[in-house]
Amino acid sequence: MSFTEKYNAIYNYVKQDVEQVKEEVVFKICGNKEFSQKFLEMFNAPSKHIRSVVSFLYLRATGIVIEKPQIKYQAVIELIHNGSLIHDDIIDNSDLRRGKTTFNKQFGTHMGVVAGDLILSYALKLIGEINNPKITNIISDTITDMCNGEIKQHFQQYEIPTLEEYIEKTYLKTGSLFKAAIEGGIEISQKSEYYVDAKNFAKLFGIAFQIRDDIKNITDNRKDSDIKNGIYTAPVIYSQNPDNPIAGIEKAKDLLSNYIEEAKKFLKNLPENEYKTALTELLGILKNE
């Protein structure tokens, strides 16, 4: 089976939960007629909603019953993710996102910034509805991390970072939102016995997810490649040559495998059930695609 087929089989375990998240997002966005159609085109483009999927799998594996606050919270995560993508496209001057014209290409940079901010404002509205100070702190810290990750990437542009700098930036830009997605879900349900393992698993999963994407950015010969934009990731770090990143691919794959194996360790204390099995399978397809 292809990656997509394997992923869809895993997705089906929490499909109803994710569909409710999508409905919550659509409900919030549709109040703005100028941007809603464009956002929904982007939101519903081929997209894995993987933050919600991995969160619901982990939460259900612990025995948590998914109720409305959990749905609202994962909608917050999806809104923050998509709002940040709009801003990323402006920073990268990208014309396409998931095969669709970007906000900045269609409406201009000014309106692109406003659209991204608007999406984030809907996330803030949902945070208020959840009404949990710890959740507010988690989200605030996460947005700070994401912004700091973007700043680090900017000042490292066209310079080969150390592996430690790359991992730190990868956590800040990508891993922190995965961590927030699961950490907040555990907090809402107050399953404190899983809190540490959940945070560690999510952090490692998020880093692994980004390393995999960085490898594919090179092996798939993407038109708007990281290297073209002066963003040097694991393959370049290992090859020490932006003109020959392929030389570092195998070591980058080893790095990915290490993070996946570390993430697996934080699943050991979960009860044995179909959701734990699905999480293990999800780690497997990240590694073996």
Query: Does residue 223 have a pLDDT over 70?
Result: no
Please state, in angstroms and rounded to a whole number, the distance separating the CA atoms of residues 120 and 107.
18
Query: What does pTM read for this prediction?
Result: 0.94
225 near 245, Cβ under 8 Å?
Answer: no
Q: pLDDT-derived band of residue 143, with 50, 70 and 90 as boundaries? A: very high
167 near 175, Cβ under 8 Å?
Answer: no
Average pLDDT of 105-112? 89
* Angle 164-166-168 from CA coordinates, rounded to 5°: 70
**Phi, psi values for residue 250, rounded to 5°:** -65, -40
Least confidently predicted of 36-45, 133-142, 177-186, 196-205 = 36-45
* H or E segment to which residue 182 belongs: helix 176-189
Average pLDDT of 65-80? 97
Q: How many CB atoms lie within 10 A of CB 28?
A: 20
User: What does the pLDDT read at residue 33?
Assistant: 76
User: What does the pLDDT read at residue 155?
Assistant: 96
On the 0-12 / 13-18 / 19+ scale of CB atoms within 10 A, 255 is buried
36 near 29, Cβ under 8 Å?
Answer: yes
Q: What is the mean pLDDT of the chain?
A: 93
Please state, in angstroms and rounded to a whole number, the distance separating the CA atoms of residues 219 and 184.
34
User: Which residues face 96 on adjacent strands?
Assistant: 101
Query: Does residue 211 have a pLDDT over 90?
Result: yes
The alpha carbons of the chain give a radius of gyration, in whole angstroms, of 18
* H or E segment to which residue 97 belongs: strand 96-97
Average pLDDT of 135-142? 98
Please state, in angstroms and rounded to a whole number, the distance separating the CA atoms of residues 173 and 164.
14
User: What does the pLDDT read at residue 224?
Assistant: 66
User: What does the pLDDT read at residue 37?
Assistant: 81
> Is the pLDDT higher at 32 or at 108?
108
Query: Does residue 129 have a pLDDT over 70?
Result: yes
User: What does the pLDDT read at residue 106?
Assistant: 85
- pLDDT tens by residue, 42-62: 777 656 799 999 999 999 999
Average pLDDT of 186-196? 92
**Of 188, 189, 183, 194, which is closest to residue 64 (Cα–Cα)?**
189
